[in-house]
Structures are given as structure tokens and as C-alpha cells.
Amino acid sequence: MVAINNTPKLLADITERAVLTYVEAFLGILLAAGTTNVITLSAFESAGIAAIPAGLAVVKGAVGSLLGRSGTASWLPAKSDPASTAIS
């Protein structure tokens, strides 16, 4: 379970992951739509579709908060997480 004092850090971690996933998906869809004939989407349609992987990133982060290092959205346990100070 997530401790109360880790909640702001966890929310910032999940928010960062979701926002960056959205930006990456949106730009990828715009580039694909603008440079190929495979998909033809407007910018608004691309923005809507890009929200799907961003939403999945939020779900992944929430699950990661239960599985991984406390206070982060990482799925890696503390002993395996390279960002953890617990690694010896």
C-alpha cells in the first residue's frame, strides 16, 4: 500500500509518465498521418486517439505503485530498481 507521505511523489511520477506518453503518441500519430497514406486523421482525431495510451499509462502507474518501489509508479522492486538507493 502507498504511504500518505509518498502520495505527491507518486502522483507526480504517474502524471509525468501519462503526459509524456500522450505527447509521444500524439506526435507519432500526426507524423504517420502527415507522411503516409496509411492513416488519414485530423489533429483532433489524433489528439483523441493519443489519449488511449496515456490513459493506459495511468493504469500502469497505479498498478506499479502497488507492485514496485514505494512512492513511485515503477514496476521494479526496490532491490532491482536502478533508481533506488536500496541497491547494494
Question: What is the average per-residue pLDDT within 68-76?
Answer: 82
Q: What's the confidence (pLDDT) of residue 2? A: 53
User: How many residues are given for the chain?
Assistant: 88
C-alpha cell at 33: 498521418
Q: What's the confidence (pLDDT) of residue 59? A: 94
Is 70 exceeded by the pLDDT of residue 33?
A: yes
Q: Are 61 and 14 in contact (CB under 8 A)?
A: yes
Question: What is the average per-residue pLDDT within 60-79?
Answer: 84
Give me the residue label for grid cell 532491482.
80
